[in-house]
Structure 1
Amino acid sequence: MQKRNKYTQVEDFLSDESFQSWILSKIDNDDWEEWTLESRRRAKLVQDARALLLAMKVPEQTITQPELYRALQTTWTKIEEKESKNNSIQGSKIKFLKKYFLSGIAAALVVSLGSVWFYNNTTPHSTIVTYNELINKNNEGLVEQTNNSDKAQIITLSDGSSVLLQPKSKLSYPKIFTGSERKVYLSGEGFFEISKNPNKPFFVYANEIITKVVGTSFRVKAYSDQPNVEVLVRTGKVRVKSNSLVAKSDQEEVVLLPNQALRFQRKDLSFNKITNITQDLVLTRSVGNIEQLSFEFTDIPVSQIFETIEQAYLVNIDYPKNKLKDCHLTTSLSDQPLMEKLKIICNSIGNNTTFEMIGNQIIIRSNGCN
């Protein structure tokens, strides 16, 4: 309930499943109508979102201007009745706001319908593959994790692989990988570090594309409201192809090596392979710490190694500083998931050194270096 009080844009409502249920299925379990009538500004946002959502769902329906006004008049009448009880606004001001409300929302709906018509007639709808379509086809009993925070979150999978999930992103995955393949489903952006298992390849389904790996690290950026899907490789090798659900797809497969990337363009279903990411401004600007920092350490203090991990994964590491202040390590951690990195470090320190990970917090326990 408190979450929607912070909604300031139409997009906030469109992504709310409860709002979608109210508008499309007439199911108002969360008292949307009563909440809407509490504020004129809120009512305008709700009506804008309602108009766009309905237009997206029924793009072929013809709605006349009189029909728009009749529908909007009903909502405004309810607002007037509520305001008249509160005596919070004078009659002349009500008339002015009423005129603005009706004309503004009607215009917004006309624009929305026009935009949807343009989208429907210029974009092949059959090529749009959504996150929900993909997970609905899976029968493994998936776990879904959504990052609604303002910072990246680390997810550890049952095989030891790790995913740094960016804000406004979702990842669905089985609690335990079974069978001969490992499959996860992404909406948004995530940086993957996959544990090696040649007998059990790893697949990331991200809208229109599928990324296949055995053991490597790479980033996938697949937001449903953006024109492109991107894959960028940090270590190892990946294979990328179109999802079979994409109409007219020739199932082209592109092989990417370290520091190479691929951009799938939705408008024409084309693959653009980028062999030198430093020459692509969009990619270079989006590269995060985890893709830039080196994990090759030669006689480096453990404290500095922990600091590098904190910067890369946006985690907090709590460790006994006094006991480990003289510890130095030489190790290569470039091609391991986070959990494997931590195991290698703890084994190298020795002396009953262990770690525990709770969310984005890592606790190191140790009696000191060997």
Structure 2
Amino acid sequence: MKARNQYKEVEDFLADESFRLWMKTQKDLDGWEEWTLEHPKRAKLVEEARLWLLAMNVPEDNLSQEQINTALQATWMKIEQKEQGNKMEQKVIQLWNTSWVRRVAVILVFGLLSLYAYNNFFAEKHYSVYDEIVSNPDADGLLEQINNSNKPQIVTLSDGSSVLLQPKSKLSYPKVFTGNERNVYLSGEAFFEISKNPKKPFFVHANEIVTKVVGTSFRIKAYQNQSDVEVLVRTGKVEVNSEKANQKKIVLLPNQALRFVRKNQTFDKITDITLDKSISSSVKSIEQLSFEFTDIPVAQIFKTIEQAYSVEVDFPVKTLEKCYLTTSLSDQPLPEKLKIICKSIGDNTAYTMNGNQIIISSKGCNYQ
């Protein structure tokens, strides 16, 4: 059996027992999901194979004999081209007499019908923005962060903005923002905290929508294989528009959300997120925790940051055990939060970030 990296046809996936097990039972014993996410071009082929496997549950008597014959002929055309002469002709006849091949015929017919609907009403939109950007030759200047881990990852942008990238998500962004706009591209889910710069607005392109901000914090959920895109605002204000549909822009304020239905290209504005079970149940720690501190121990502030950003903060516990702060850190990216904390503690306090680890160095509070 060929290595999966060589799979180029749907038949390759259908013949792979490990792939069939993953699709039927959702037990990903061989890392299929991670392998698929590594290269976006694989996703479409995997989706085609998935649709064909799902079609196996359709009763055969729903199809006419003519449909089955046509499907069978198309299915094995490639096999006939790869083999030679009479041996292959005999093999096709033998295969046709097996129930497995008849089921493949069913798969193909219903797979093609499903694939037609998928390509015309779903796939074109699913792969419209992110994949086009990262595969564009002009995208050489973009960096890509892929989170294949099981916990969120912090991405710090050149303007000081921070992005909390959720598992199975990807973010493409320039090493340095140039021009009059700041543009990034998301596939998956992320929480954004944007540095304020009214002269240089920030745009997040996610599937078919674009979210414009100046300085605020918000979450976008835009997975390629999901039917909806969601935007939820924690602080500030954002404007959401469609990349393709002729829709008026939607303005969202704190604790408001928007659901974009990709099939119909329509917006659903949610002014009270507590009344929407899907959105309210998906709220993360960073969206719930307060960053308003009044005479609070530094150690507790660092604990709040750990909970919000899924990071580890290493600081001199004994040195800072008597340090208390009163400060407002809301609507600030993580690097700015850390700068404010360090400055409030004392001029001899600094921080460094290495992935999801933050190290604080300090000789104590100013007032000690």
TM-score (norm 1): 0.76
* 1:334-353, Cα deviation, whole Å (9 max, x unpaired): 11000000000000000511
| Alpha-carbon separation, structure 2, partners of 1:148 and 1:206 | 19
TM-score with structure 2 setting the length: 0.76
Amino acid at match of 2:22: Q
Q: Please, which runs of 5 or more residues in structure 2 have no aligned partner? A: 8-15, 24-31, 54-68, 84-93
Aligned to 2:195: 195
Quick one: distance in 1 between partners of 2:40 and 2:161? 33
Instruction: Tell me how far 1:124 sits from its aligned partner.
Output: 9.4
- 1:206 aligned to 2:202? no
Q: What is the root-mean-square deviation of aligned Cα atoms in Å?
A: 3.6
Quote the residue 1:119 is aligned against: 118
Letter in 1 for 2:147: N
**Equivalent residue for 1:352, pick from 341, 348, 354:** 348
The equivalent of 1:215 in structure 2 is 215
Aligned residue runs from structure 1 range 53-132, under 5 A = 64-69=71-76, 71=78, 99=98, 102-120=101-119, 125=124, 129-132=128-131
Query: In structure 1, what is the equivalent of residue 178 of structure 2?
Result: 178
Deviation at 1:153, TM superposition (A): 0.5
Q: How far did residue 292 of structure 1 move?
A: 0.3
| Residues 75 and 332 of structure 1, relative CA distance in 2, 3 Å threshold | farther
Partners of 2:206 and 2:179 in 1: CA distance: 21
Q: Is the 8 A contact 1:227 1:266 kept in 2?
A: yes
Give the paired residue count. 318
SS in 1 for 2:281: helix
Q: 1:48 to 1:266 in 2, by over 3 A?
A: closer
AA at the equivalent of 1:357: M
Structure 1 residue 114, shift from structure 2 partner = 2.1
Which residue in 2 is equivalent to 1:305? 301
SS in structure 1 of the partner of residue 274 of structure 2: helix
Cα distance in 2 for residues equivalent to 1:327 and 1:127 = 50
Aligned pair 1:148/2:148, yes or no?
yes
CA distance in 1, matches of 2:126, 2:106: 30
- Aligned mates of 1:167, 1:254 — CA distance in 2: 28
User: Structure 1 residues 73, 123: closer, same or farther in 2, change over 3 A?
Assistant: same
Match of 1:36 in 2: none
1:326 pairs with 2:325: no
Cα distance change, pair 73–299 in 1 and its aligned pair in 2 (3 A):
farther
1:158, CA displacement in angstroms? Answer: 0.5
> Counterpart of 2:131 in 1: which secondary structure?
helix
> By how many angstroms is 1:367 displaced?
0.9
Residue 118 (structure 1) shift? 3.2
Is the 2:52–2:110 contact (alpha carbons within 8 Å) kept by the matching residues of 1?
Answer: no
| Contact 2:189-2:220 within 8 A present in 1 as well | yes
Match runs of 1:13-28 below 5 Å: 15=37, 17=39, 20=42
Within 1, Cα distance between the matches of 2:347 and 2:219?
36
- Retained in 2: the 8 A contact 1:48–1:105? no
CA distance in 2 between counterparts of 1:209 and 1:336 reads 24
Q: Which SS does the other structure have where 1:205 is aligned?
A: strand
Tell me the distance in 1 between the aligned counterparts of 2:40 and 2:190: 26
1:154-184 deviation line (CA, Å, top 9, x unaligned): 0000010000001111100000111111110
Identity of aligned residues (%): 56
Superposed counterparts of 1:203-282, under 5 Å: 203-243=203-243, 246=244, 249-282=245-278
In 2, Cα distance between equivalents of 1:46 and 1:234: 34
CA contact (8 A) 1:218 1:235 kept: yes
Taking structure 1 as reference, are residues 302 and 206 closer, same or farther at Cα in structure 2, changes over 3 Å only? same
Question: 119-128 or 285-294, which moves further after superposition?
Answer: 119-128
Pick closer, same or farther for the CA change 1:132–1:340 going to 2, 3 Å: same
**CA distance in 1: counterparts of 2:329 and 2:224, whole angstroms:** 33
Does the C-alpha gap of structure 1 residues 197 and 134 become closer, same or farther in structure 2, counting only changes over 3 Å?
A: same
Deviation, 1:221, is 0.8
